[in-house]
């Protein structure tokens, strides 16, 4: 299983996590901020519509081929880490 990782700086506009795949994959998102929540969802995600990932918490998402996850915060300069695990058939 190929594994990649990285970090993304999130602000008040929906920001794509810079990863996708042609195969089924798993995405783990960690909120590195110790004071604020990050919100995840589709390209139109907002703090009011996204799923919350609380400060210093993480979530795991099963992803289909070509899916993309977006993040948004109520502040600028919010750092998240991600781990992508591609599932080989």
Across the chain, mean pLDDT equals 93
Q: Is 3.40.50.10490 the CATH classification of the domain at 3-86?
A: no
Q: Report how far apart, in Å, the C-alpha atoms of 83 and of each of 31, 53, 69, 74, 87 are.
A: 12, 15, 12, 23, 13
Residue 17, pLDDT score = 93
Residue 82 has pLDDT above 80, yes or no: yes
Q: What is the largest CA-CA distance in the chain?
A: 40
The string of pLDDT tens digits covering residues 11-45 is 999 999 988 899 999 999 999 988 899 999 999 99
How far apart are alpha carbons 22 and 43 in whole angstroms?
Answer: 19
Residue 89, pLDDT score = 66
Domain extent listing, the chain: 3-86
């Amino acid at each position: 299983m190929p594994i990649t990782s990285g970090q993304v700086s999130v602000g008040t506009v929906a920001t794509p996590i810079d990863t996708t795949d042609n195969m089924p994959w798993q995405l783990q998102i960690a909120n590195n901020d110790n004071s604020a929540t990050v919100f995840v969802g589709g390209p139109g995600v907002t703090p009011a519509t996204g799923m919350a990932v609380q400060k210093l918490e993480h979530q795991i998402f099963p992803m289909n081929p070509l899916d993309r996850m977006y993040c948004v915060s109520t502040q600028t300069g919010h750092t998240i880490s991600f781990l992508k695990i591609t599932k080989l058939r």
